[in-house]
């Protein structure tokens, strides 16, 4: 689980293919335990540009991986 990105607290992660905020993969809603947006490692989705994406979390930071680029 990640509470932030390299840019600090964010509401969206950027798509690695098109560079736009990926609104198709919103963060989980804040909770009492996690009062900020957060992402779960391994969640998958697709950006509007067509890139199949997976959430990657390392050391509390989150980003999206383009699954087609890693093939």
Per-residue pLDDT at 19 exceeds 90: yes
**In contact, 39 and 13? CB cutoff 8 Å:** yes
Ranges 20-24, 38-42, 53-57, 67-71: which has the least confidence: 67-71
**pTM of the predicted model as reported, rounded to 2 decimal places:** 0.79
The pLDDT of 14-40, averaged and rounded, is: 88
Cβ partners under 8 Å of residue 42, min gap 6: 54, 55
Does pLDDT of 7 surpass 70?
no
Question: How many domains are contained in the chain?
Answer: 1
Task: Provide the residue range defining the domain that includes 5.
Answer: 1-71
Between 28 and 51, the higher pLDDT residue = 51
Strands 61-66 and 52-58: antiparallel
């Amino acid at each position: 689980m990640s509470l932030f990105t390299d840019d600090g607290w964010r509401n969206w992660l950027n798509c690695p293919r098109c560079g736009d905020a990926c609104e198709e993969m919103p963060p989980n809603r804040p909770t009492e335990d996690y009062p900020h947006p957060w992402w779960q490692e391994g969640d998958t989705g697709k950006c509007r540009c067509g890139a199949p994406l997976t959430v990657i979390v390392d050391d509390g930071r989150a980003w999206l991986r383009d699954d087609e680029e890693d093939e």
